[in-house]
Homo-oligomer: A and B are copies of this chain.
Amino acid sequence: MVDQTPGTNPPVDFRTDPSRYKHWKLSIDGAVATLAMDVREDGGLRPGYELKLNSYDLGVDIELYDAVQRLRFEHPEVGAVIVTSGKERVFCAGANIRMLGQSSHGFKVNFCKFTNETRNGMEEASAESGQTYLTMVNGPCAGGGYELALATDWIVMADDGNTSVSLPEVPLLAVLPGTGGLTRLIDKRHVRHDRADFFSTTEEGVKGKRAVEWGLVDEVVPRTKLEAAAKARAAERAARTDRPRDGRGISLPPLERTIEGDTLRYTHVTCAIDRARGLAEITVAGPATAPPADAAGVHAAGAAFWPLALARELDDLILHLRTNEEEIGLWVVKTTGDADRVEAYDRVLADHGSDWLVREVRLFLRRVFKRLDVSSRSIFAIIEPGSCFAGTLLELALATDRSYMLDGTLEGRDDPAPALRLTTMNFGAYPMVNGLTRLATRFLGEPARVDDLKRRLGEDLDASAAAEAGLVTFTPDDIDWDDEIRVAVEERTAFSPDALTGMEASLRFGGPETLESKIFARLSAWQNWIFQRPNAVGPKGALQLYGTGQRSDFDRRRV
């Protein structure tokens, strides 16, 4: 048994590009792109399993994520994306069972989270980016394969004897369709719950007209007409996009980073891991230069445009820490830089928000902040002299579990007292998975406070003003600063990581629920539970015995 736990394997690198894809084929025909899944059986991320029947592991998902990102930035001309299979006789069999069976609990949970995030990103592209995803089901589409289809906005399926959609996790594996499947059946496609119940307990799935009648797919057509039907639907959607048909994309060059000992360095982001204390100190630098004057300037800057570079770097860092540094349970976020310059960049993002590229940059930042929100790590912000928590960077502090802001200056240092600054970007640009801004979530019971804050745009708020405005948790002065933070860090890293994960997931997302918040908060929690249960993962559990011909002897007690 190969342990998927990082530490026993080389670290996972989330950086890739189409020239290195093993499992996906991206082709573009005018305004319609096709993403064909064609998994290489021997191309698993780890040894110990074969990716049969177009099943996937984290490596397959990393390529999908990269393709989805590139389609948004590199291909403004694409208004619709058809997801399909490159195999003759199967669409996708879902997540690879042997890979799951040999993975640690943490690896499985983290893998599902990343998969969910990518699928939510596809839905965001459909809803907000004018790049609509559709699925062409050209063979059996099971489990995670159907969950991938559910994340698209239109599902067309071949009406033949071989092709069906199914969620066989419960009957075959004793786990859940936990990467969004159950939630999307009910809350996205509004499949009637009793039909969803039957469907989710039926290995062989549903095909043909019943699949349409029950709302599991949108249309079925004869196999011979499948491709034409999918292309026609895609063309309809592409015709409605607001993306520029003749726009030129920007390229996303390889992300540069260095790892020296326990320090990771990107251009704007640095991360220093302190293993003895169990924490990672993440420092984000504001822009080094003034922003471009207009949207054309943003296009010219491309991937070097500070907000985009920042998003890419933070995104990679979060994924790296989550997957490769499981024992680092506390992330301490700091910033440096010049608030005026961040405010100037925020003005560009706000003023040119209708430009397709500027919009993509904002949406990417939104996804990165969401990724931070759903990370199962404690997150503290340290707001000290020299920091730059302004506008877009202030979102980082608002995303933390708590923040410490120095009241005044530090003895023996010249830096002025720290200040926070609000910009328009704090009031709607980056909603959380609950659909609310971080400020609205913060003041759930007092929405008027958010309105009050709108009148303080651009003001420098020192510690006492920030505390009064409710923007920071604690504001120790010079005398208490070091001790208070030291004690908070020591206590935090001594608590049970599991209890913290459950607590943080329960406290971070107040207020309304969305498809996304239901997936992360409800479905994931149930999946995590089941991934611990002997009936699934014990030596005689269904996930372990799958494919051996042996049957599980379940503990029949209901919980």
Contact = CB atoms under 8 A, between A and B. Distances in A.
A193 B496 contact: no
Interface string A2-29: 0001000000000000000000000000
B558 A491 contact: no
Interface stretch (A66-74, A249-257, A400-408): A400-408
Contacts of A109: 559
Give the bracket for the number of chain A residues in contact with chain B: 35 or more
Interface in A311-345: 322, 326-329
A40 interface: no
A386 interface: no
A444 interface: yes
Contacts of A197: 401-402, 473, 503-504, 507
A529 B108 CA distance: 14
A522 B500 CA distance: 15
Contacts of A176: 499, 502-503, 506
A427 to B, nearest CB: 18
A402 B197 CA distance: 7
A195 interface: yes
A482 to B, nearest CB: 18
Nearest to A197: B401
Contact of A376 (B189, B474, B500, B558): B558
A177 to B, nearest CB: 8
Given A194-B401, A559-B110, A507 B442 contact: no
A539 interface: no
Nearest to A552: B496
A183 B513 CA distance: 13
12 contacts: A174-B495, A176-B499, A183-B506, A193-B442, A278-B556, A326-B559, A327-B558, A497-B555, A501-B558, A505-B522, A522-B525, A525-B526
Interface string A536-554: 1000001000000000101
Given A106-B558, A497-B555, A507 B193 contact: yes
Copies of this chain in its oligomeric complex: 2
A499 B186 contact: no
Interface string A183-221: 101110110111111101100000000000001000000
A510 interface: yes
B445 A215 contact: yes
Contacts of A88: none
A527 interface: yes
Nearest to A521: B522
Contacts of A510: 186-187, 190, 193
A498 B530 contact: yes
Contacts of A501: 526, 558-559
A45 B327 CA distance: 40
Interface of A: 5, 104-106, 109-110, 169-171, 173-176, 182-183, 185-187, 189-190, 192-198, 200-201, 215, 278, 322, 326-329, 376-377, 400-403, 441-446, 470, 473-474, 491-492, 495-508, 510-513, 518, 521-523, 525-530, 532-533, 535-536, 542, 552, 554-559
A202 to B, nearest CB: 9
Contact of A558 (B5, B326, B506, B529): B326
Contacts of A500: 170
Contact of A499 (B174, B183, B322): B174
Contacts of A186: 444, 506-507, 510
A333 to B, nearest CB: 13
Contacts of A513: 512-513, 518
6 interchain residue pairs of minimum CB distance = A190-B445, A174-B496, A525-B525, A502-B526, A182-B506, A513-B513
A551 to B, nearest CB: 9
A98 to B, nearest CB: 19
Nearest to A195: B473
Contact of A327 (B182, B446, B535, B557): B557
A182 B444 CA distance: 15
